[in-house]
Amino acid sequence: AFGLGWAWNGVFHLSVVRYSRIPAAVATSVVQTAMSFGATFGPAAFGLVAAVSYPIAWIASAVGLFIGALFVWLGRRELSRRS
């Protein structure tokens, strides 16, 4: 479980490098910065919302995941269009 939990990170960076037209160092630094930002502020934001309402915190998390998936889909579509 530990290996699988961390394996997606490498696969995600591989796909960013493979499909991006910008240099690998730039592409992965942007992705890593965004992931670190989310890992830092996501739990704190969830805790603040959960202090008010636990169900609303889970709904907000689901909405955030949906928006993230939408951005990934739009980014992949844009990269496919440029190829």
Instruction: Specify the pLDDT at position 82.
Output: 66
In angstroms, the Cα distances linking 63 to 9, 68, 69 are 22, 9, 10
Q: Give the residue with greater pLDDT, 69 vs 81.
A: 69
- What's the predicted TM-score (pTM) here? 0.68
Joined tokens for residue 67 = 């928006």
- Are the C-beta atoms of 16 and 31 separated by less than 8 Å? yes
Residue in this structure with the two tokens 């240099």, named with its chain if needed: 23
For residue 20, the model assigns a pLDDT of: 81
Task: Yes or no: say if 31 and 15 are a contact pair by the CB < 8 Å rule.
Answer: no
- pLDDT tens across 31-64, in order? 899 889 988 999 999 999 999 999 999 999 999 9
The model's confidence at residue 10, banded by pLDDT at 50, 70 and 90, is confident
Angle at Cα 73 formed by Cα 27 and Cα 14, nearest 5°?
35
